[in-house]
Structure 1
Amino acid sequence: MTPAPADAQDATPDVLCVRDVPFAALTGLLARHALRLHRVGDGQDIPGSYWGEPEAGVIASDVYARDDTPIHSLLHEACHLIVLPPERRAAVHTDATDSDIEEDATCYLQIVLADALPGVGAARLMADMDAWGYSFRLGSTAAWFAQDAEDARAWLHAHGLLPAP
């Protein structure tokens, strides 16, 4: 779940965006998971965006983003596809899942993958998630990740997406 900022008309939180990370690093990371990243031109509609601009969009194995798309959104939507088996991934258009455990696994995996991106890292991504309005029981993304994400970790391990502890 990547909610739009609470007061999107007034101010957009200061978060890392696609323009802030080398595009080759983004495409390379997604390619390692059999995904294709497509850069959408400034001001153009983002195909497959569930939340609307500037949020990333997904259609099958394709992820769409503009330069103003937040990195947390790009990673979140990509991770929705990564956690799906190929036959389910092929059917995705805009809305990847309504499964709570897949949503949790997606949030966890996007934090893990942030460490593979230059200038991003898990700590910055979690701060950006909080700034954007992600909501977790323990009050912050970092608290959830450290103290309340056992089910997400276990699910990712069971599906071969994280190494065994």
Structure 2
Amino acid sequence: MHANPYLRSRSSRQLWRQFGLSLIMVFPLICHAQETPAPAFELNAENSSKHQLKQYFGKLVYVDFWASWCAPCLQSFPFMNSMQQKYQAAGLQIIAINLDKKMGDAQIFLNKNSAQFLVLFDPEGKTPLQYGVKGMPSSYLIDRSGKIIFTHKGFKLADQAVLEAKIRTELGLKN
């Protein structure tokens, strides 16, 4: 068996590695999960009420991890507000989990960017570790039985149509 001639030299390997990284950056960061159980969590809302993921089984849950310093999160909030308003009656629950260490930072963000969905706080950052969050924002669509069925990393305005179509499909609505 002959080795690939393009991978023989170190510079060729570096070129292919860079090419591969370029492809990763070009293609959208939308992934399909393999229907794994969503990690359980219990977190507090601003009013100190406790919320557990299992409370929302029976609904389609869109869990979004965000932070006040995250620029794409500014764009995702209007989208999540719109989705919550449009599809709440059909069974959608959006839960945004803030990861700021200081709640004051999150509050400043929320004062400027209205959230018409449930916002929970995880200043210790345990929940994103359970979910394997690698960037902000990261979203997980969890089916009515508590399984992750779709993941999305990052947020661009161009992502909205794909995300809304996936939500509508999972809710059993025609696209």
TM-score (norm 2): 0.28
Tell me which structure has the larger Cα radius of gyration. 2
Structure of higher RCO (CA pairs closer than 8 Å, 6+ residues apart): 2
TM-score (norm 1): 0.29
